């Protein structure tokens, strides 16, 4: 019947947001949205709500629609926050895991390094010399810290009191060292303290000189530039290499490039000078102003601030004195030196172990000089070391004469044929000697009547000539990098920030130098006390001889002889007062 038939269904568009909907009564029936019947015509074209927005159908129903939107918005915000929190937790968990792994790895490396350094320090401290450190033993080991004035002592002191036959083969390159040479009594080397492992410890005395760390860095920089500049006579580095291959095999001289640390520093600086010269010719570097500091002439030489921050400087120069006295340079005989040095570089707080070992070794040295106290150091060296060497030489000479007098044919243990001359250093194309080991002829001085006073006179004459030679060679070399002319006055132009950085980078050397200054004061006191002990018995014996030999007793002296005795006594009293006053003055200064 027609009454039972369904009314015709008017076609309506299918919402693109609805899935699974079809034609039929359900598509046209009113929907209940939030408890209200909303006819499809009220929603216009889109009769179906999007699945991702349930409140779509009741947005026009007033407060109920807004409440639905609010509740749904809160839900969306909450879900978004949850998702973001989850992602954040995953991300930060991974980050913290990575960070914790890095921290754990760093801590493990620190503890490993601490164990390595501590074990080395404990083993090194056990090697201290227990005998009287101020008594010269059979072998003298002069540990030459670069740029401290050591070559002056070698040429103007040691070569005046030791013969060529007594010098051990030069150990600038450790592979050449041979302590088994007969009569070897003097070792002069840039090697570090680890060389003691090759020497009989109970028969060896060690001496060294230290310098203010900032001044030593300046001097190292200047000398590296000075020697490297000599190669600028060549058009390029290829020409330098060809010259070296041609000359070196023919020469017996020791080259700068054989000597630590110059065998590393000079080639580095030489390559830099050639690179800057090429860049200047191509106009790639700004021209230096006329009144610029010679330590910051970028177009001519490597600026000082670049020099001190380069990895090579960190490995060789900074705290170099401490590492050399401790026996931990990159030229060391000690197997563990590389690991210890690397650990201290990575963890500077471990440096105090190395510093304490170096201090302990300074305490047990025969002599410690200071470059800044040049005159006092030289006098002290002559009295503390030179006097004992001369005393040993007299004993050796008397023994030698006694042995040769019993032989049918006389011979000499110190023949001229054994003199090896002064080693020269190739630093230019004409094989001129380098200022690190100056050129001169090794003339054997007459040692039979040598005294400490005479030794000091020879020393003063020697250093005067030596300084003139060095100054002229330095001037000639620096002309090739003019206007970069280094001097003590020019050092004042260096900014305070760079000076502070040098001190910071050499903090171990700063502390070691302070310790050396205290040792230097103790040495002065020892020499003054020794002078008192020596003067008193000498004058007492002299006065007694005068009274007994010339007077026949104290009552038999003529008046003029009595006056002479009184004058001598007055001189003794004045000397004693002078020495006592000097000690009190030193205490006040201290």
Q: What is the DSSP string of 171-195?
A: -SSGGG--TTSTT--EEEES--GGG
Are 378 and 457 members of one domain? Answer: yes
Are 544 and 423 members of one domain? Answer: no
Residue 526 lies in a domain: no
Average pLDDT, integer, range 278-287: 80
Q: Which of 239-243, 412-416, 542-546 has the highest average model confidence (pLDDT)?
A: 239-243
Nearest to 237 by CA among 281, 270, 280, 284: 270
Are 540 and 498 members of one domain? Answer: no
Q: Which of 60-69, 119-128, 202-211 has the highest average model confidence (pLDDT)?
A: 202-211
| Strand, coil or helix: 205 | strand
CB neighbours of 144 closer than 8 A, spacing ≥ 6? 150, 151, 154, 188, 189, 190, 208, 209
Are 546 and 492 members of one domain? Answer: no
Q: Would you say residue 521 has pLDDT above 90?
A: yes
What predicted TM-score, i.e. pTM, was given to this entire model?
0.69
Share of the chain above pLDDT 70, in %: 61
Are 48 and 171 members of one domain? Answer: no
pLDDT value of residue 396: 58
Residue 24 lies in a domain: yes
Are 57 and 182 members of one domain? Answer: no
Residue 98 lies in a domain: no
Contact 471, 478 (CB under 8 A): no
Q: Indicate the helix (H) or strand (E) that contains 370.
A: strand 367-370
Residue 517 lies in a domain: no
Q: Which of 486, 505, 524 is the last residue of a domain?
A: 505
Residue 166: exposed, middle, or buried by beta-carbon count in 10 A (0-12, 13-18, 19+)? buried
Task: Give how far the C-alpha of residue 252 lies from the chain's centroid of Cα atoms, to the nearest Å.
Answer: 31
Top pLDDT among 145 and 15 is at 145
Residue 428 lies in a domain: yes
pLDDT value of residue 326: 97
Residue 213 lies in a domain: yes
pLDDT value of residue 392: 84
Task: Of 39-53, 180-194, 399-413, give the lowest mean pLDDT range.
Answer: 399-413
Residue 514 lies in a domain: no
Residue 396 lies in a domain: yes
Top pLDDT among 372 and 444 is at 372
pLDDT value of residue 64: 62
Q: Which of 16, 36, 61 is the last residue of a domain?
A: 61
For the chain, the domain total comes to 3
Bridge partners (DSSP) of residue 33 are: 36
Are 340 and 215 members of one domain? Answer: yes
Residue 101 to residue 105: CA distance in whole angstroms: 6
DSSP class of 9: P
Q: What is the pLDDT of residues 447-465, one digit of tens each?
A: 567 888 999 999 999 999 9
Distances in Å between the Cα of 503 and the Cα atoms of 213, 220, 234, 296 are 7, 15, 37, 19
Read off φ and ψ for residue 16, nearest 5 degrees: -70, -15
Read off φ and ψ for residue 526, nearest 5 degrees: -60, -40
Provide the domain limits for residue 267: 127-407+418-505
Average pLDDT, integer, range 51-71: 60
Dihedral (CA of 109, 110, 113, 115) sign: negative
Dihedral (CA of 395, 398, 401, 405) sign: negative
Confidence of residue 406 (pLDDT cuts 50, 70, 90): very low
Confidence of residue 207 (pLDDT cuts 50, 70, 90): very high
Nearest to 518 by CA among 370, 327, 299, 303: 370
Q: Would you say residue 342 has pLDDT above 60?
A: yes
Are 373 and 449 members of one domain? Answer: yes
Helix ranges (H only) for 16-62 are: 25-28
Are 440 and 570 members of one domain? Answer: no
Q: Which of 68-82, 380-394, 486-500 has the highest average model confidence (pLDDT)?
A: 486-500
Residue 445 to residue 160: CA distance in whole angstroms: 6
């Amino acid at each position: 019947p027609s009454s039972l038939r369904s009314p015709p269904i008017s076609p309506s568009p299918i919402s693109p947001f609805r899935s699974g909907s079809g034609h039929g009564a359900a598509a046209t029936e009113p929907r209940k949205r939030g408890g209200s019947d909303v006819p499809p015509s009220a929603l216009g074209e889109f009769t179906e709500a999007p699945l991702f927005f349930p409140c779509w159908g009741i947005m026009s129903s007033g407060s109920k629609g807004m409440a639905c939107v609010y509740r749904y918005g809160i839900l969306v915000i909450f879900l978004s926050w949850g998702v973001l929190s989850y992602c954040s937790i995953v991300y930060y968990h991974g980050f913290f895991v990575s960070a914790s792994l890095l921290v754990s790895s760093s801590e493990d490396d620190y503890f490993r390094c601490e164990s390595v350094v501590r074990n080395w320090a404990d083993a090194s401290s056990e090697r201290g010399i227990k005998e009287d450190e101020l008594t010269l033993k059979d072998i003298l080991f002069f540990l030459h810290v670069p740029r401290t004035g050591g070559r002056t002592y070698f040429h103007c002191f040691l070569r005046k009191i030791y013969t060529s036959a007594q010098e051990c083969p030069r150990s600038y390159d450790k592979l050449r060292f041979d302590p088994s040479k007969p009569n070897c009594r003097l070792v002069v080397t840039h090697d570090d303290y680890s060389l003691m492992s090759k020497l009989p410890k109970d028969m060896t005395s060690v001496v060294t000189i230290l310098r203010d760390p900032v001044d030593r860095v300046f001097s190292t920089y200047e000398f590296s530039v000075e020697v490297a500049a000599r190669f600028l006579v060549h058009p390029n580095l290829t020409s330098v290499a060809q010259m070296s291959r041609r000359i070196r095999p023919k020469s017996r001289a020791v080259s700068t490039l054989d000597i630590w640390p110059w065998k590393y520093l000079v080639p580095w600086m030489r390559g830099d000078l050639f690179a800057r010269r090429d860049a200047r010719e191509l106009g790639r570097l700004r021209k230096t102003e006329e009144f610029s500091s010679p330590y910051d002439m970028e177009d001519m030489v490597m600026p000082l601030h670049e020099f001190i921050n380069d990895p090579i400087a960190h490995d060789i120069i900074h705290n170099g004195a401490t590492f050399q006295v401790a026996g931990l340079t990159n030229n060391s005989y000690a197997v563990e030196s590389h690991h210890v040095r690397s650990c201290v570089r990575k963890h500077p707080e471990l440096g105090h172990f190395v510093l304490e070992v170096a201090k302990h070794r300074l305490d047990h040295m025969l002599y410690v000089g200071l470059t800044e106290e040049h005159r006092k150091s030289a006098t002290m060296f002559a009295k503390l070391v030179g006097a004992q060497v001369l005393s040993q030489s007299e004993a050796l000479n008397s023994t030698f004469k006694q042995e040769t007098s019993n032989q049918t044919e006389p011979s000499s243990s110190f023949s001229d044929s054994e003199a090896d001359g002064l080693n020269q250093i190739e630093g230019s194309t004409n094989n001129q000697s380098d200022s690190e080991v100056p050129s001169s002829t090794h003339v054997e001085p007459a040692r039979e009547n040598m005294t400490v006073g005479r030794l000091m006179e020879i020393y003063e004459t020697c250093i005067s000539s030596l300084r003139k030679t060095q100054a002229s060679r330095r001037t000639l070399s620096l002309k090739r990098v003019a206007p970069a002319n280094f001097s003590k006055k020019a050092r004042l132009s260096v900014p305070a920030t760079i000076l502070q950085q040098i001190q910071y980078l050499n903090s171990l050397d700063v502390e070691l130098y302070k310790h050396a200054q205290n040792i230097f004061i103790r040495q002065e006191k020892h020499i003054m006390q020794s002078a008192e002990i020596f003067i008193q018995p000498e004058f007492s014996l002299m006065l007694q001889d005068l009274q007994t030999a010339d007077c026949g007793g104290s009552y038999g002296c003529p008046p003029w002889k009595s006056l002479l005795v009184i004058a001598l006594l007055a001189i003794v009293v004045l000397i004693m007062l002078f020495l006592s006053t000097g000690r009190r003055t030193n205490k006040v200064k201290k």
